Structure 1
Amino acid sequence: MVSTEPAKKLRWLEAPELENLGYTPSTEGTINHTQQGLLTPLLLGKEDSVWRMSIEAPEALLDDIGSSNYELADLRSLMPELSMEELAVAGHAVALSNWHRSHVFCGKCGSQTLSIEVGGKRQCTADPAHREYPRTDPVAIMLVESVDGKHALLGRPRSLKRRGPVLTCLSGFIEQGESIEEAVAREVREEAGVEVKNVHILGSQPWPIGRGGSCELMIGCIAQAKNDTVHMDDTEMEEVRWVSRADVAKALDRSSSKDNPLTGGSGEQHEDLDFFIPPPWAIAHHLIKIWAGQPSAWFSAKL
């Protein structure tokens, strides 16, 4: 839940406020609601000696929420408003809730499952040996440097077409039995027709609002191209192109501007630049920023 005062900032509800909305913690670690009965909380962690939990608001409470100083909001729409700390906690809550809602039946026998250990697992009601654990899907995301070290390979998947003139790093799920390096090479080859080598792993970022409601772990990489000729897969990608270091630097300066469609902007283009890049809350932004900040090629001639 999000307080509408002030400016859509995330505010955690204390016990008295929860009780005013009909929620009462029980001695069994559940939460009782006056209309919906027992609700199962999901443990998010402890900070400053305070345990934080999330619960899904029952539909019966939506009218009450709408008439109070609270409103429901999509996490993606709140990204420009929230701090990184708030995003981390809210993202955890959303990811855990999505996982629980998609695993109400046992994947082994089809029986109903129940949340246990304050949301840390789900237990099959038919077989105690069948348990489900919250999962994270690994995704390789990569900036590809050109052969001459002066350009970056950026693209726009068809899923981002509606968001306007956006270019970002190529990415894709890591398949079973595949290393991160192999996934980088395969995805770049499939999406852009470019062969790569010398994959450097720089860092990672949890992404709780991934495709299909899954929680993803974005593994950020920089790779060196073996060739510069692009053969784009137009069934998956809307655009793929090489972008100069100078244009990447310009896009970085405008990544948080009010025009950026990824921050809710109009997507209005500037005369000297026809694309936007992801804002600072995305690992793609930081891969692009790290590469653009190099005075020369990321990869030396020795590699």
Structure 2
Amino acid sequence: MQNAFTGAALDRVGDSRRRDEAWVAAQLKHRHARAVVAGDRGLRLADGRLELVPLIELEGGQTPLLLGVDDVGPVFAFDEDPPRDGRVPMVGSGGVRGEPPVDASGDRVPLRQAVARLSQQDGGLAAYAAALLNWHRRHRYCSACGQPSDLTEGGLTRVCPNCGAEHHPRTDPVVIMLVTDGDQLLLGRQAVWPTGRYSALAGFVEPGESLEEAVAREVLEEAGVRVGAVTYLSSQPWPFPASLMLGFTATYESGVANVGDEELEDVRWFTRAEVEAAALEPDSENWGAAGGPPGTLALPPRLAIARRLIEHWLAH
């Protein structure tokens, strides 16, 4: 089974076609051109599916971004909110901090709740659209000279008309890892999470650092323990706004687990029996839902790669 936020089944046309301005312009006028519509409140869904709206029906908003082509024709991403400066919320988040609102019952559905309802293919397409739209919301100006930049290649590049600098969509690598010691797992907890929720440790990869080095450093910084063997398992795009989660397991080597920085409220070891019991509890579409009773372990939602790593550990 694929991780959530993956599975977009279309040709992303990451070749010379994108660099052909006439070809891109023709896609905008294609009679079967459609768009994923998103904005501050969420993504547009219809009958439990991601709605692909005919491009000709869309007005206002921002310049459509070419996601690729499928068997029908070109598919775009369309930000229905007008451009604005200052701190802007992430597309489909429902708020500036990127957390979805409790009520997702309106005509727009925040990305996390949407992916919980959608097929693998639609969920991957929704995440792709949101990630690209988020990047354009935050990169309208050249980071080299500060001038407004121009959209090119259908939206996969921005070019500064003043200094000529090219800017490409950013993806931030994040390592996320389960530290194991026989039949025990080391998990951490942030204070803002629902009651009882613990998850895998995680952190951004720093410049000049390998993924394995990042795993070892983050575990030592956050939990005060050293790890030995590091094994890669799986990855997951995390478009909040532009991360790529790289999942690992790491074997405990030495040290006493304790909170090492302000990011975590607690770190502790859990037995296989505790994790198995928590894995049997029902999941919630609301990612901010309350956890279990005090003193009980609540695992991350099943859409998160952290949960997939935990379930892989339980199965093996």
Alpha-carbon deviations, 1:242-285, whole Å to 9, x = none? 1111221222222x434x863x5442439xx7122122321111
Alpha-carbon deviations, 1:121-165, whole Å to 9, x = none? 00102123x11000100001000012xx1101111124xx24332
**Cα distance change of structure 1 residues 58 and 173 upon mapping to structure 2, 3 Å threshold:** closer
Whole-Å Cα distance in 2 between the matches of residues 4 and 287 of structure 1? 30
Q: CA deviation at 1:39?
A: 4.1
Unaligned 5+ residue runs, structure 2? Answer: 1-36, 38-42, 84-105
TM-score of the superposition, structure 1-length normalised?
0.76
- In structure 2, the residue matched to 1:56 is 79
Greater alpha carbon shift after TM alignment, 222-231 vs 113-122: 222-231
Give the aligned residue type for 2:227. V
- In structure 2, the residue matched to 1:133 is 168
Whole-Å Cα distance in 1 between the matches of residues 207 and 278 of structure 2? 35
- In structure 1, the residue matched to 2:196 is 165
- In structure 1, the residue matched to 2:97 is none
Give the aligned residue type for 1:172. G
Residue number among 275, 278, 286 corresponding to 1:248 in the alignment? 275
- In structure 2, the residue matched to 1:29 is none
- In structure 1, the residue matched to 2:52 is 12
Q: CA deviation at 1:58?
A: 3.5
Whole-Å Cα distance in 2 between the matches of residues 4 and 49 of structure 1? 19
Whole-Å Cα distance in 2 between the matches of residues 86 and 4 of structure 1? 10
- In structure 1, the residue matched to 2:262 is 235
TM-score of the superposition, structure 2-length normalised?
0.73
Q: Contact conserved, 1:113 with 1:125, CA < 8 A, in 2? A: yes
Unaligned 5+ residue runs, structure 1? Answer: 24-32, 61-69, 295-303
Is residue 41 from structure 1 mapped to residue 81 from structure 2 by the alignment? no
Equivalent residues, number = 254
Alpha-carbon deviations, 1:17-54, whole Å to 9, x = none? x52xxx3xxxxxxxxx3xx4x94111112222332101
Residue number among 131, 134, 145 corresponding to 2:180 in the alignment? 145
Give the aligned residue type for 1:165. G
**Cα distance change of structure 1 residues 86 and 267 upon mapping to structure 2, 3 Å threshold:** same
CA RMSD of aligned residues (A): 2.5
Residue number among 109, 112, 118 corresponding to 2:154 in the alignment? 118
- In structure 2, the residue matched to 1:65 is none
- Please identify runs of 4+ aligned residues in structure 1 that moved more than 3 A: 1-6
Q: Which structure: larger Rg?
A: 1
Q: Contact conserved, 2:45 with 2:51, CA < 8 A, in 1? A: no
- In structure 2, the residue matched to 1:27 is none
- In structure 2, the residue matched to 1:154 is 187
Whole-Å Cα distance in 2 between the matches of residues 268 and 253 of structure 1? 12
- In structure 1, the residue matched to 2:226 is 195
Q: Provide the identity percentage.
A: 38
